[in-house]
């Protein structure tokens, strides 16, 4: 099935330029296309006219890397829950629809061009503590360190975060607490992450604040926007670890 759409796309030449919405027709769009494939078609039409194509970010196009995130009709990644932009298909839109497309809006995510934002703030949060520094040598045999399945599953639930930034875009405070809590939790739950557990949470929170992200005020919009279903429960766990670290000292051991 083919549909015709009207796109209102945010166009901005560079970080210091003023942006604006520009209207484009998207004609004869196959409903089997993904949202990014639709943008590819529109860009081909623009280039045939000698116009600048719309800049947008993508990599895997499989909902894994998180780089494709944009606001679609005011919603991070669009109308489908737990769906990255690259996995959103045009069959969810109707013929004649108007679609507003804009980049993430956050002080810590400055717009580089059109729909592309600088998400390197997330990288710097990871670099501040989202790792295990102890040299463990070769990977141990899987059963050498017994980990209860409940703990392992919980750690993996946090580790699935793809770092797309939808949580920041959805939050009225542009908070990165959901992202940071996922990165803190997936290491903090496992035995290998215990030695640096409390130093880690303090370093990563300090870096998050330094980058200019807002504070969490428990709206829950971050969880609703997350394409992989990260839960706000991890924020509560991060807050507990942060409190323990400040009260007892960064190196104080504690039960998981």
| Domain-terminating residue out of 72, 91, 112 | 112
159-200 pLDDT, tens digit per residue, is 999 999 999 999 999 999 999 999 999 999 998 899 999 999
Q: What does the pLDDT read at residue 255?
A: 45
Is 177 buried (19+), middle (13-18) or exposed (0-12) by CB count in 10 A?
buried
Burial of 90 (0-12, 13-18, 19+ CB in 10 A): buried
E runs forming strands in the chain: 2-11, 20-30, 71-72, 75-76, 98-102, 111-113, 116-117
User: Residue 190 sits in a domain of what CATH number?
Assistant: 1.10.1060.10
**Structural domain includes residue 254:** no
166 in the same domain as 56:
no
The larger pLDDT score, comparing residue 134 to residue 50, is at 50
Domain membership flag for residue 102: yes
**Domain containing 84: what range?**
2-112
Same domain, 205 and 238: yes
pLDDT tens profile 69-107: 999 999 999 999 999 999 999 999 999 999 999 999 999
We report the CATH number of the domain holding residue 74 as 3.10.20.30
**123-139 mean pLDDT:** 87
User: CA angle, corner 57, sides to 51 and 62, nearest 5?
Assistant: 125
Tell me what pLDDT residue 256 has.
47
Considering the domain architecture, whether residues 58 and 39 belong to the same structural domain is answered as yes
5, 99 Cβ separation under 8 angstroms: yes
- State how many domains the chain has: 2
pTM metric for this prediction: 0.91
């Amino acid at each position: 099935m083919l549909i015709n759409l009207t796109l209102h796309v945010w166009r901005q030449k560079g970080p210091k330029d003023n942006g604006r919405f520009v209207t484009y027709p998207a004609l004869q769009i196959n409903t089997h296309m993904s949202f990014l494939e639709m943008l590819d078609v529109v860009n081909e039409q623009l280039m045939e006219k000698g116009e600048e194509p719309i800049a947008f970010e993508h990599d895997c196009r499989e909902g894994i890397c998180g780089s494709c995130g944009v606001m679609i009709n005011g919603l991070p990644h669009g109308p489908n829950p737990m769906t990255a932009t690259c996995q959103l298909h045009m069959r969810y839109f109707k013929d004649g629809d108007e679609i507003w497309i804009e980049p993430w809006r956050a002080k810590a995510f400055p717009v580089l061009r059109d729909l592309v934002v600088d998400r390197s703030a997330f990288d710097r949060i990871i670099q501040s503590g989202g790792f295990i520094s102890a040299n463990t040598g070769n990977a141990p045999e899987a059963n050498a360190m017994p980990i209860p399945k409940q703990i392992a599953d919980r750690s993996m639930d946090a580790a699935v975060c793809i770092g797309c930034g939808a949580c920041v875009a959805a939050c009225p405070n542009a908070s990165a607490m959901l992202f940071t809590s996922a990165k803190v939790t997936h290491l903090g739950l496992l035995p290998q992450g215990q030695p640096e557990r409390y130093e880690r949470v303090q370093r990563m929170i300090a870096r998050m604040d330094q980058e200019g992200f807002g504070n969490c005020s428990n709206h829950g919009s971050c969880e609703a926007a997350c394409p992989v279903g990260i839960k706000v429960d991890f924020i509560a766990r991060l807050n507990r670890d942060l409190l323990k670290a400040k009260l007892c000292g960064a190196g104080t051991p504690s039960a998981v």
